[in-house]
Chain A
Amino acid sequence: MNWGSANEFLAMGGYGLYVWGSYGVTVLCIAIEIWTLRK
């Protein structure tokens, strides 16, 4: 296990903004694509 706490997980060793910025925008893109396909 890499993380001692949820905060440590979110902080990503100080790179939280970059890591979660990448994953977040990817999830958003996939959500938009699935939403436009559903219509």
Chain B
Amino acid sequence: MTSRLLQFAAPQAFFPLAGKLVPWFSFLAGALALAGLYVAFFVAPTDHQQGESYRIIFIHVPAAWMSMFLYVVMACWAGLGLALNTRLSGMMASAIAPTGAMFTFVALWSGALWGRPTWGAYWVWDARLTSELVLLFLYLGFIALKSAIPDPTRSDRAGAILALVGVVNVPIIYFSVQWWNTLHQGASVSLTRAPSMAATMLLGMLLMALAAWMYSIATALSRVRSIILERERDAAWVQLQRDGMRAAA
């Protein structure tokens, strides 16, 4: 079983597998997002304190979760590549970074538009907001650093070190609302206690979070295919693949 899984560590074997998985995860992302949006706008009730402005939560919380989670996954791939010298690991880390940066931007943007009606300000230099902004810079720094080094092996190593050092920021973001006085509210969802929100609101949020997961998997797999083709362009199997595509076109 392990050896059968490990064979997909080779880019050549992973390329067609990723190609088969992308449509499935894309479909799941679309279906879950439609269900989530329906619950978000037509089932979940109006919040008695914030009125309709709270509906930003269905974008904001899933995006913020994904921004932190994707960074950890990216750092894991990067660390794995550093430890085992596997080519695919560095490619996976590169494939995840743009999607992580996108979700970080969405979390900051939707947070600003939610902060204005509820706190009276688009932005405050508060622990939660500032550490999330640092996360965006870490993603952008990782992308910039990797693209600045042309040699793939050295680029993967340098990127991996940056990703691993930066991972310290993730628990800082998560616990910032407990460690410092902040405008940002604490966690609404926890594994250890009952959620502090209506069941339908929670359902909408979880559906949107699952959609964000599926979307991230689909985009990362789709992007890693382009990276594999680019990096292995001199390999015989890529040449064959290219000739096949040309023949089909």
Contacts and interface: CB of A to CB of B under 8 A. Distances in A.
B173 interface: no
A33 B99 contact: yes
Nearest to B222: A37
A33 B98 contact: yes
B42 A1 contact: yes
Contacts, number: 63
Given A18-B56, A19-B53, A26-B63, A33 B45 contact: no
A37 B219 CA distance: 8
Interface stretch (B80-88, B101-109, B160-168, B185-193): B101-109
Contacts of B110: 22, 25-26
Q: Is the interface of B mostly helix, strand, loop or mixed?
A: helix
A21 B1 CA distance: 48
A33 B219 contact: yes
Interface residues of A, number: 21
Nearest to A21: B113
Interface string B38-51: 00011001100001
A9 B41 CA distance: 9
B154 interface: no
Contacts of A25: 106, 109-110
Nearest to A12: B52
Pairs A-B, 10 closest by C-beta atoms: A13-B52, A15-B53, A22-B110, A12-B52, A18-B113, A13-B51, A22-B56, A22-B113, A21-B113, A15-B52
Interface of A: 1-3, 9, 12-15, 17-19, 21-23, 25-26, 29-30, 33-34, 37
